[in-house]
Structure 1
Amino acid sequence: MPRVLVVLADGCEELEAVTIIDLLRRADVAVTVAGLEPGPVTASRGVRLLPDIALDSIGGESFDLIVLPGGAEGARRLSESDRIGELLMQQIREGRCVAAICAAPTVLGRLGLLDHRRVAAYPGFLEPLEIPGVEIEAAASVVMDGRIITSRGPGTAMDFALFLIEHLTDPTTRDRVEAGLQRPATHHSSATEGIAIRVMR
């Protein structure tokens, strides 16, 4: 069973966080929700979320994927966390994937993980970082470049979560989860459809 760590900080975007956690669990993925600080997390619209565990309580566990929901304030707090930086860099060094949506790709950008990559993000967040060689895909809902998966914002959160399901499991599982949501299957990953772009490195 794939294992995923979702990290929440105060000011995170609750629509993204809950969508990611909910859909991954529908796909029988083992999701651990960690709070950047101990206790409940107050999201960007005042919704209070209760993580499973505090981030500092995670020891030497390994995860197939680490996911960062967005939200401007949540992303800022994640960017300022040395612990998050260490976890993300270790994840990449060990050949596993990281994913970020909305403002959260800025966390990856500040660590140099987006250099010379194609990415998706909420408009206006990555440009001030002047990331070397980055290509921002304005039309794609989800972009996977090597071991980095990014997405644009709350409106693409479901596409993002379903993409993660397919990446972690298989298209059949993704289609099963999507069918249960009563929306048309959209697993075709093509730049021309604007759904997802995959760049293999």
Structure 2
Amino acid sequence: MSDLNNKTIAVIATDGFEDSELTSPLEAVKEAGASVKVVTPNAEAIEGKNGTKVDADLSTAEAATQEFDGIILPGGTGNSDHIRMDEHAVALVKQHVEAGKPLGAICHAAWILTDADVLKGRTITSYPSLQTDLRNAGASWVDEEVVEDRGLVSSRTPDDLPAFNAKLVEVFA
């Protein structure tokens, strides 16, 4: 198991996240020793589409001024659509990826990467319905369980979580 002691990982989400796509990676990085900060648009607790409630640590505006060792973006159509409209979340993701720091996006979460304009020349996977958006943003889209391209880790669905979590922990370390 990779060691994430002394690493701080941000999870950026809002209401309507895909429950397992937030809780499973969060637990994986915590088990590897990371400190996790849950970042939401207004620093208020959020609820997944299946009822999981998660407390927030910071707002996206507060987080945009901080440095994280890694970022996790869980899916969920509503969550992903709302997060990509949050200018602070988009700015944080853009700054993080452009600094060469690792980020994981699963399912619909890759939408924010199109708004952050960080996909040109990268290979990525996602929920299949996003492939046109991702290609239009400059990415090469593939249908694979997990893809890692220069620190950008991506997966398609909750079925891919074991591979996604293992790759996240490895890349974050």
Please indicate, yes or no, whether the TM-score normalized by the shorter chain is above 0.5: yes
The number of equivalent residue pairs is 168
Q: Is the 8 A contact 1:116 1:132 kept in 2?
A: no
Aligned CA distance change for structure 1 residues 52 and 147 (closer, same or farther; 3 Å): same
TM-score in terms of structure 1 length: 0.76
The CA deviation at 1:15 is 0.6
* Contiguous gaps of at least 5 residues in structure 1: 170-201
- What SS class does the counterpart of residue 103 from structure 1 fall into? helix
Whole-Å separation in 1 of the counterparts to 2:14 and 2:96: 19
Structure 2 CA distance, aligned partners of 1:96 and 1:128?
23
Q: Which residue of 2 aligns with 1:44?
A: 49
SS across alignment from 1:33:
strand
Q: Which residue is equivalent to 2:75?
A: 70
1:94 CA displacement = 2.1
Matched, 1:103 2:113: no
Query: 1:104 corresponds to which letter in structure 2?
Result: A
Normalised by the length of structure 2, the TM-score is: 0.88
How much is the aligned-residue C-alpha RMSD, in angstroms? 1.8
Distance 1:107 1:134 in 2: 13
Structure 2 unpaired stretches of 5+: 1-5
The answer to whether the 8 A contact 1:106-1:126 is kept is: no
Q: What amino acid is the match of 2:169? A: I
Change (3 A) 1:10 1:95: same
Q: How far off is 1:86 after superposition?
A: 0.9
Q: Kindly indicate whether structure 1 or structure 2 has the higher relative contact order, using CA contacts under 8 Å at least 6 residues apart.
A: 2
Q: List per-residue Cα deviations over 1:55-111 (Å, max 9, x = no partner).
A: 333363211111110000000011101001111111123221222110011110232
Paired residue secondary structure (2:162): helix
Runs of 4+ in 1 over 6 A off after TM superposition: none
Q: Secondary structure, in 3 states, of the residue corresponding to 1:124?
A: helix
Q: Answer yes or no: is 1:91 the counterpart of 2:106.
A: no
Q: If you compute each CA radius of gyration, which structure gives the higher value, 1 or 2? A: 1
Greater CA drift, 150-159 or 19-28: 150-159
Identical-pair percentage: 24
1:129 deviates by 5.5
Separation in structure 1 between the aligned mates of residue 132 and residue 90 of structure 2, nearest angstrom: 20
In the alignment, is residue 11 of structure 1 matched against residue 16 of structure 2?
yes
**Which residue of 1 is the match for residue 86 of structure 2?**
81
How far did residue 16 of structure 1 move? 0.7
